[in-house]
Amino acid sequence: MMTIRRQEIVKLEDVLHLYQAVGWTNYTHQPQMLKKALSHSLAIYLALDGDAVVGLVRLVGDGFSSIFVQDLIVLPSYQRQEIGSNLMKEALGDFKDAYQVQLVTDQTEKTLGFYRSLGFETLSTYDCTGMIWVDRKR
């Protein structure tokens, strides 16, 4: 049976396979960074099939004015079963009073359609653009 659970403490070894399964090498090549990131997250929700972790959504931010969806991962063999939607709905429900929830994602119709189905809009809707600074020396 599939369950969604907010988890206060998430161990690296319990979720690293998710990042590996979707090829997020920035995390898998720097597991200590991911370990620190997990422990400093605002909230983490796990999708569980029995005891097996099959999905995760990780939020960062202050929880009031700004929340950022840092990671949303579902094992490929579990995708298209509404697990990602259920993870997001659970997280958004717990932070329904936050001023804004932001995220960065791939610019594919599939991904954009998924987030639009949850009520997200592109920044251009608000005459805004996103910007990023990355330490490329690492």
- Would you place residue 16 in the very low, low, confident or very high pLDDT band (cuts 50, 70, 90)? very high
Q: Could you say which of 3.90.230.10, 3.40.630.30, 3.40.50.720, 3.30.360.10 is the CATH number of the domain covering 2-99? A: 3.40.630.30
Structure tokens at 10: 């998430």
Q: Give one DSSP letter per residue of 62-81, joined into a string.
A: -SSSEEEEEEEEE-GGGTTS
**Cβ pair 43, 94 in contact under 8 A:** yes
Mean pLDDT of 25-38: 93
Amino acid at 47: A
Those residues whose C-beta lies under 8 Å from the C-beta of residue 65, and which sit 6 or more positions away, are 98, 99, 100
Give tens-digit pLDDT for 52-101. 999 999 999 999 999 999 999 999 999 999 999 999 999 999 999 999 99
Task: Indicate whether 138 pLDDT > 70.
Answer: no
Residue 103 pLDDT > 90: yes
User: Is the model's pTM score more than 0.85?
Assistant: yes
Q: How far apart are CA 31 and CA 104, in angstroms?
A: 21
